[in-house]
Amino acid sequence: MFPTLMSKTFFILSSSLALCYIGAYLVISYFRRAYKQGAKFVTEKLNKYGQQDLVVNPNLLKKIFWPVLIINTLCFIGLMFTRNSFPLNMVMMGLFTLTDGITLGIVLISIDENLAIKVAWLTAIITLFAGNIGLYSKIDFTFLSGILFWSLIALIIVTFFRIFISIKGTTRKVIASIGILIFVGYLLYDFNNIKKLKKLKNFNNWNTALDCSIDIYLDIINLFLQLLDLLSDD
């Protein structure tokens, strides 16, 4: 049914993104339903485009977010330990991406859930563009490996400090723009890697496809978050 490495990879990737979407959708739908039912922990305001933007009690969001994040992290660790154990690795990938979607839904609610569609479209367009270049151009993007690694380390450090220091305005948007460039670079690199692996018959298996899909899935989700950061209000 999925004879090539690429078909296996895109099946896992599309399934993972679908589960992530379901997780986010469930969260947003829950709070929208709670608002309609008159729950005290959720109110509304209008964003700059005149759209309804739900405002959920931040203490409640924290109580939900941190346990889900811990579960999501444990699922990812479990995925790393089982990544070569088919089909358990697929089950762990499903659990990881579903809980990832729930955390993403909470993030969207805390910022502005109306941005989800716009950011998702931008992410899809950029991913398709970078993916086609990585897969079909004659450029070998291996040279990006070191640059991307150290750039990612720097971004992680800056993101860690943002937990304690509020960074707003132009500085925040510059950081988000740099983050976008980093993950576009990773998309080019990871799609280019599939191009190389698909030529080798020994790598045409579900474990390799899972490894490739994990890399691209993380690129896409992080690109989504950076775009969300860039487009959101301070």
Contact (Cβ atoms closer than 8 angstroms) between residue 130 and residue 195: no
Domain range for 90 is 5-231
Q: Is the pTM of this model over 0.85?
A: yes
The mean per-residue pLDDT over the stretch 94-122 comes to 95
Mean pLDDT, all residues of the chain: 93
Label residue 47 by pLDDT band (50, 70, 90): confident
The mean per-residue pLDDT over the stretch 142-167 comes to 90
The mean per-residue pLDDT over the stretch 120-127 comes to 97
Question: How many domains does the structure of the chain reveal?
Answer: 1
Backbone φ, ψ for residue 82 (5° rounding): -110, 10
Integer Cα distance of 169 and 174 in angstroms: 9
Contact (Cβ atoms closer than 8 angstroms) between residue 141 and residue 134: yes
pLDDT at 70 (0 to 100): 97
Contact (Cβ atoms closer than 8 angstroms) between residue 108 and residue 24: yes
CA contacts within 13 A on the Cβ side of 160: 6
Integer Cα distance of 62 and 92 in angstroms: 25
Contact (Cβ atoms closer than 8 angstroms) between residue 196 and residue 135: no
pLDDT at 148 (0 to 100): 95
H-run or E-run covering 55 = strand 52-56
pLDDT at 234 (0 to 100): 59
Tens digit of each residue's pLDDT (9 = 90 or more) over 182-191: 999 999 999 9
